């Protein structure tokens, strides 16, 4: 069972109220307005009873509906999807804004993103208007691929920035300098060892960044290709066995590995809250300076 993406997880205050969703639905509002109109019309020949009775009937109907409709799985799924679409659009807008700050509008990946959106919309329309080998769960997962693509793209840009900001030779020189001072019997040996440990951890993370970036770049290439493969399998009306196998294989390619998701999630968090990442680097430098 697929888990909700991080952008679709809100706080308790952001969770939907199914009762409120029922009360404020367009159908319910129209029924209420029709009841008011009927009460106004009946007030002419019958007076106050003509006003009160339709309103009482509406209130009774609302009370009965409130016991069943909010608990309906179909109704809840509809409300959850509406909220997810809203959160998805907000997440996409935020990611597009962050990416636009880091690259030009002529970057070829914008065109790939727009093509991906077109394919996703086409698959949703085909799933809505005719029978399709894709179920609602698969269609929903495919719709998330546009956000996945933006997230991976932003992670790659962030990794580029981090690679440019860290000089491995300078860090290695600092580590060697601290080691030499420890060997000479510096007074504040404990602080020096801690500073060396922080710098060694920073250097290790930076070296791991290359492999993480390679995984992100591979996912950036494979994600649109997987959606295109699904699209081609649907529109060519493959045989049930062949089409089912191709669809299963392509959809599996959409399921990003947990380690990769946490990797680009960490990169995005460093973008949104850069002070946290910068503070760690300043701490190591400050400890070395204090020990000097």
Residue 21 lies in a domain: no
Residue 4 lies in a domain: no
| Least confident stretch, 112-126, 162-176, 246-260 | 246-260
Range of the domain at 231: 108-291
Residue 173 lies in a domain: yes
36-70 burial, b if ≥16 CB within 10 A, otherwise e?
A: eebbeebeeeeeeebbeebeeebeeeeeeeeeebb
Residue 145 lies in a domain: yes
pLDDT of residue 96: 92
Residue 17 lies in a domain: no
Residue 61 lies in a domain: no
Q: Give the mean pLDDT of 45-60.
A: 87
Q: Is the pLDDT of residue 91 over 70?
A: yes
* % of the chain at pLDDT higher than 70: 74
Tally the domains of the chain.
1
Write out pLDDT tens, residues 249-285: 666 666 554 445 555 555 555 544 444 444 444 554 5
Residue 67 lies in a domain: no
Write out pLDDT tens, residues 171-205: 888 888 888 888 887 777 788 888 888 888 888 88
Which pTM was predicted?
A: 0.67
Residue 215 lies in a domain: yes
pLDDT of residue 241: 46
pLDDT of residue 30: 93
Q: Give the mean pLDDT of 4-13.
A: 56
Mean pLDDT over all residues of the chain?
77
Q: Give the mean pLDDT of 155-165.
A: 84
| Least confident stretch, 40-49, 93-102, 120-129 | 120-129
């Amino acid at each position: 069972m697929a888990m909700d993406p991080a952008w679709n997880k809100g706080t308790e205050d952001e969770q939907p109220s199914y009762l409120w969703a029922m009360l404020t639905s367009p159908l319910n509002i129209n029924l209420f307005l029709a009841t008011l109109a009927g009460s106004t019309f009946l007030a002419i020949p019958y007076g106050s009873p003509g006003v009160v009775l339709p309103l009482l009937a509406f209130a009774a109907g609302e009370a009965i509906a409130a016991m069943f409709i909010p608990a309906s799985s179909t109704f809840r799924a509809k409300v959850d999807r509406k909220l997810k679409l809203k959160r998805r659009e907000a997440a996409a807008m935020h990611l597009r804004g962050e990416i636009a700050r880091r690259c030009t509008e002529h970057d070829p990946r914008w065109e790939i993103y727009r093509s991906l959106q077109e394919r996703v919309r086409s698959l949703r329309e085909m799933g809505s208007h005719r029978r399709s080998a894709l179920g609602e769960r698969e269609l929903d997962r495919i719709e998330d691929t546009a956000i996945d693509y933006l997230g991976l793209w932003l992670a790659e840009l962030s990794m580029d920035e981090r690679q440019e900001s860290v000089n491995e030779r300078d860090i290695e020189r600092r580590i060697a300098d601290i080691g030499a001072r420890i060997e000479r019997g510096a007074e504040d040996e404990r602080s020096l060892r801690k500073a060396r440990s922080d710098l060694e951890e920073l250097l290790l993370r930076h070296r791991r960044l290359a492999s993480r970036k390679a995984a992100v770049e591979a996912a950036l290439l494979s994600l649109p290709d997987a959606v295109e493969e699904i699209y081609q399998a649907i529109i060519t009306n493959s045989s049930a066995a062949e089409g089912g196998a191709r669809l299963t294989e392509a959809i599996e390619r959409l399921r990003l590995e947990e380690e990769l998701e946490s990797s680009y999630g960490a990169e995005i968090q460093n973008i949104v809250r850069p002070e946290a990442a910068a503070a760690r680097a300043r701490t190591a430098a400050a400890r070395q300076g204090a020990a000097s």
